[in-house]
Structure 1
Amino acid sequence: MDARKLLSTPLSRRGVIAGSAAAAVAALAGCKKGDDTAAQVATTGTAGGTLSYHIENPTGIEPYTLEDENAVAVAFNLFDALTYYNFKTGELEDLVAESHEHNDDDTAWTFHVRKGTKFHDGSEVTAKSFKYAWNRLCNPATSDQPSNVSYHLSMVKGYEDVTAGTATELAGLTCPDDYTLVVELEQPYADFDYVCAAPVLSPIPEGQGSGDGYKDFALGPVGNGPFKMKGSWVDGQYVETERFEDYTNGDAPKVDGVRFAIYRDSNTAYKELDAGSLDCSLVPINATKQAKESYGESADGYTATPGSQFLGGTMLYTQFLSFNVDDPVMGDVRVRRALSLAINRQAICDAIYEGSAKPADDIVPEAIDGYREGAWKWAAYDPDQAAQLLDEAGYTADADGKRNLSFKLMTNAANTQDEYQAIQADWQKLGLDVEIDKVEYAAMYQSYLDGTYSVGARAWYADYPIADNYLYPLFHKGNGDNVSHFADDKYEELIATARATADHDERVAAMQAVDDYVADLVPYAPLNYRSLARCTDKRVAELTVSPQILPLLSEASLSE
């Protein structure tokens, strides 16, 4: 579709990105995070300079608070985890871990930490740094509650005890020596090393970032990645970083630093890019065609160079609507199915996204192993069936075509509203009274957690490229990212079975069974799969953003 780089073959456990972008991506292949020994696609710029990169205000910038893509974009460059998914090669690689292995049934994992790696304060990264960091995520004493993203460790022995406050350390974490981390799981989980690539599981210097020291660390975290903090995060304005000269997990960054410039909306940021005041910006939906024409399109969709500055590669990302199943109206599955069926996704993609989106027919995106076309049947467009379901639910139309059903659609005030206005119009055609409720993101996320909304705009991108990273975080009871408040015993049995399946192909099939089950209950309505839609200034000699929306800023360079 247009210049959008679709991945024609899903990403498997050790698969290589395939499809229209394959040749270009293969040319970029590297070894470690920050490694620049691979073949270059363009002339490398001069070292130095500060690169400015657009983000919206993040939920945080350190592992405990990584709840959106803006937060992860910053933390990915401040912290290094045990492993790293190299999208250029399609391989999972060791990063802070020198090597790792697991037992025959995937219940015990051993990671050997590289000796000599440093935190930004000069202290050494050891196995105990990971043990401390992981316990910190789960311990309510860190900041009054466990982290909302602590569920990444839910399979580790002792997780429920620590999150409940009856223990202070995960029973499944031990350090036989300073450079060996042993992780025991409650059940087999063959993809655990993929989980360990998530920035949320990065190490923390022992004793930092908890209790009285939590706030200072949250604003000025001490990491172990290619960039370190320069001062503290100025909420709503910027996060300033500089090159970490003692970085040893790959080559040191080429630029002197990165300024993560915070803008409330992409329209403002894009204007700054056009004016030459910003090096990389998200492109507003209605500016996609103009950006492609003005800046030229990246050859592979992920790496920008002068004259090829628009990034249109496919993201591991699904945009969807969340239905609060505890809401008196949205608790009726017939209503949820009807609202999903009433949305004309193709028309929205054609009219609003200008070729940068494709209708979603599964909560799992098409680039993930296990995706199946049309898996979520209620994501089809069938307004007649939608009307029938509303009738069955008791919301019949009167003589004027109006139904006694009103609710609010909560959206992020910083985002373009065109798509949601189109959805609103589709629902109004059925006689529904729908109001768009534009809310600042922080308040919006709190409403999700509190369950004080009816329908909300939401999206999910992969922390690691496996189906489990969609089907567990979004649906498991009690997870902070389960904003629909979905809770179902049969689902819990199915997901537990799938996660415990050691054979890859059998595990994919088991995950598909989970997907089929939740698809019929419609706690979410998939909307679309989108491309990166980012653009760089001409002074950027090279900048790569991965399908996981991770900017590889340690590899970036400026031409002046």
Structure 2
Amino acid sequence: MKRFFLLVLCIFATSCTGGGSCAGKKEVAALPDTFIWNLYSDPKSIDPGLVQENSGSDVGVQLFEGLTEYHPETNEPVPALATSSDVSSDGLLYTFHLRQDAKWSNGDPVTAHDFEYSWKRALDPKTGSYYASYFYIIKGGQEFNEGKNTDGNSVMVKALDDVTLQVTLKHPAHYFPQMIAYPAYRPVHRKTVETFGDKWTHPEHIVSNGPYKLVSWEVQKEMVAEKNPYYWDAQNVRINRIRFLLIEERETALKKHLEGSAHYTDDIPTLKIPTLKSNPHYHDAIQLATYYYSINTKKKPFDDVRVRQALAMSIEREKITNVLQQGYPTRNLVPPGIPGYTTAKGLSFNPEKARQLLSEAGFQDPKTLKVTLSYNTNENHKLIAEMVQNMWKENLGVEAELYNQEWKSHLKNVEEGNYEVGRFTWIGDYVDPLTFLEITTTASTQNYSKWSNPVYDDLVLVQSGKERDPKKRFELLQQAEEMMLEQAPLIPLYHYGRPLLLDPRVKGFYGNLQDMHPVKFAWFEEEK
């Protein structure tokens, strides 16, 4: 057995750029104890077992804490509720040792049994967890989630006692300590869940174990979280309150920030970026994230790979990012920058070849191909959809109809297969190609294209899991990525950069690769 991580927690705080406040004259309210975050939209859920979008994760990271936590700058895993862990020589058995002073926001102790219950709950098909497949790395997890084994004890996560959790993986995964920092792996309070059902996350009921507790939620207005006095490290949490502003209109949110009514704003209107780059609040952080269009391969004619390839090969990604003035054009699903991994080569822009493929697929007259392109309400999504619509018309002669919906309706229709081409973003859950390539495997709940290839599944889920040599493992994953991109069940458009505004008085809060921001590490510091 070997020690996995040290019993230390070092947070390296560096100064933000420049001095001075924004152009507005209004002072930020309630300083220095309230951090105001422009969250934009209400989360669909903040239940760790049901969270699925950025807003839910952003709030959940503040309210719940897992065995490990994200370092605020690097997103590397640091000790949280587990002070240490041991790993077997074959990399399959993890034994986590929990701190004995951890408590829920009602004073109950946080135990290893909470984690066993929560992880099995996320895998229970009755729960309907969006991230159920994320737990498939645990031995017995996939079989239980798919109903092949209805005995929860078959899932190899077990509390040996109140402070010892043992987990058996189905294959070695050096990134497992980072995986368990993800919001879906954070525990829930069993008694509260079973008492209040789907209302357990309401402010009047919720019990959480993180540095903050939810005290109010006004739909389409704001959520407020206050410091949890029972949190094990409460004395080192320097910000007492977080206000999440739920303002869907980005121009309005930006105005509030520039007036001094918010400290952190990240979804900045594209056309405002050039004028904001000289602002001391402005930063641009590279993201482990890809913007892409999913194609419903179960609907004709999109079951024909030639049609999908033609659509992919007629889009000029560089024009999109030039107009957006952000992001990095790509033909790949996996972003660059993962140490040791060489990204695959996707389909190049080639309108002549695209027209040929379309003709071979039976569309000698491109106008006979009708495409509906769906996206959720957002100015950038609309702008991108309009550009792609024009590219398909100019480069292919194909007419596309645009269909705009609010997020929840868009997601519901895509999940039910009621779409043809739909906009999505995937944000990596850990720094490894697998976090991207898993979403196009047959069993993944995020495989909206419904594309299925047993060879691809074997490379991603079986062979790469068995391979202990990191270089050879990455070669297998690269082979899988090339295969998938050639089949075009999705069309990658660009990798994200994250333009953001952060009040220079806020320290210990950074733009980072995974866009995870535990406010517990942040503090206010008056400018000199």
Alignment of 1:512-527 (within 5 A): 512-527=478-493
Please say if residues 81 and 96 of structure 1, whose CA atoms lie closer than 8 Å, have aligned partners that are also in contact. Answer: yes
Q: Specify the SS of the correspondent of 2:368.
A: coil
TM-score (norm 1): 0.84
Matches within 5 A, 1:132-151: 132-141=117-126, 145-151=127-133
Match of 2:345 in 1: 376
Partner of 2:25: none
Matching residue of 1:360? 330
Matched, 1:101 2:86: yes
1:364 deviates by 0.5
Measure the CA separation in 2 of the matches of 1:193 and 1:133.
17
Structure 2 unaligned segments of length 5 or more: list them.
20-27
8 Å Cα contact 1:140/1:146 also seen in 2: yes
Q: Find 2:292's aligned residue among 320, 333, 347.
A: 320
Cα deviation for residue 313 of structure 1 reads: 1.3
Query: Which residue number corresponds to residue 163 of structure 1?
Result: 145
Q: Could you say which residue in structure 1 is the equivalent of 2:473?
A: 507
The residue number in structure 2 matching 1:258 is 242
1:247-326 matched pairs, under 5 angstroms:
247-249=231-233, 252-281=236-265, 282-293=267-278, 295=279, 308-326=280-298
Identity between Structure 1 and Structure 2 (%): 25
1:62 CA drift (Å): 2.3
Give the letter aligned to residue 130 of structure 2: N
Change over 3 Å in CA distance of 1:551–1:187 after alignment to 2: closer
Report the equivalent of 2:64: 79
* Residues 341-360 of structure 1 aligned to structure 2 (within 5 Å): 341-350=313-322, 352-354=323-325, 356-360=326-330
Would you say the 8 A contact 1:283–1:291 is kept in 2?
A: no
**Partner SS, residue 63 of structure 1:** coil
Please give the alpha-carbon distance, in whole angstroms, between the structure 2 residues aligned to 1:534 and 1:466.
25
* Partner-residue secondary structure (3-state), 2:315: coil
**CA distance, structure 1, for counterparts of residue 390 and residue 166 of structure 2:** 54
Change (3 A) 1:427 1:39: closer
Shift of 1:486: 2.0
Which of 305, 322, 335 is the matching residue for 1:333? 305
User: In the aligned structure 1, how far is the partner of 2:81 from the partner of 2:268?
Assistant: 34
Look up the equivalent residue of 2:318 and give its one-letter code.
Answer: Q
| 1:556 CA drift (Å) | 2.9
Bigger drift between 324-333 and 219-228 goes to: 219-228
Q: 1:412 aligns with which of 376, 380, 384?
A: 376
Give the aligned CA root-mean-square deviation in angstroms: 2.7
Q: Which residue of the partner structure matches residue 421 of structure 2?
A: 455
Alignment of 1:182-197 (within 5 A): 182-197=166-181
Q: Deviation digits for residues 289-329 of structure 1, max 9, x if unmatched?
A: 11113x2xxxxxxxxxxxx3112010111111111111112
Shift of 1:169: 4.3
- Cα pair distance change 1:39/1:553, threshold 3 Å: same
- Which residue of 2 is the match for residue 395 of structure 1? 363
Letter in 1 for 2:401: E
Q: How big is each residue's C-alpha offset from its partner over 1:230-276, in whole Å with a ceiling of 9 and x where there is no partner?
A: 13x33333221011233335863322211111122322211222233
Distance 1:50 1:86 in 2: 21
Call closer, same or farther: CA 1:42–1:50 in 2, change over 3 Å. same
Q: Quick one: distance in 2 between partners of 1:202 and 1:215? A: 18
For residue 315 of structure 1, give the secondary structure of its aligned residue in structure 2. Answer: strand
More moved, 320-329 vs 99-108: 99-108
Which residue among 203, 209, 231 is the counterpart of 1:224? 209
- Alpha-carbon contact 2:64-2:209 (below 8 Å) kept: yes
CA gap 1:555/1:155 in 2 versus in 1, 3 angstroms: closer
Contact kept, 8 Å, 1:195 with 1:464, in 2: the verdict is yes
The equivalent of 1:299 in structure 2 is none
Among 519, 522, 525, which residue is 1:556 paired with?
522
C-alpha contact 1:226 1:252 (8 A) present in aligned 2: no
Aligned: 1:466 with 2:432: yes
Query: Aligned partners of 2:450, 2:45: CA distance in 1, in Å?
Result: 23
Structure 1 residues 275 and 31: CA distance shift in structure 2, 3 A: farther
Q: Check conservation: 1:325, 1:523, Cα contact below 8 A.
A: yes
Superimposed CA distance per residue, residues 482-510 of structure 1 (whole angstroms, 9 cap, x where no aligned partner):
11122221112111211232232222222
State the shift of 1:100 in Å: 1.2
Runs of 4+ in 1 over 6 A off after TM superposition: 42-47
Give deviations 1:454-506, integer Å, cap 9, x for gaps.
Answer: 0011111111111111111x112232211112222111211121123223222
Residue 187 of structure 1, CA deviation = 3.5
- 1:546: which partner in 2? 512
What's the CA shift for 1:229?
A: 1.0
Q: Distance in 2 between matches of 1:251 and 1:150?
A: 35
Where 2:482 maps in the other structure, the secondary structure is: helix
**More deviation, 108-117/247-256:** 247-256
**Matches of 1:370 and 1:392, distance apart in 2:** 39
Distance of 2:459 and 2:334 partners within structure 1:
16
Alignment coverage as a number of residue pairs: 504
Tell me the SS of whatever aligns to 1:156.
coil
Asked if 1:424 corresponds to 2:381, the answer is no
Q: Using a 3 Å threshold, how does the CA distance of structure 1 residues 445 and 156 change in structure 2: closer, same or farther?
A: same
8 Å CA contact 1:323, 1:330 repeated in 2 = yes
What are the within-5 Å matches in structure 2 for residues 467-506 of structure 1?
Answer: 467-472=433-438, 474-495=439-460, 496-506=462-472
The range that moved more, 317-326 or 270-279, is 270-279
Give how far 1:170 is off.
4.6
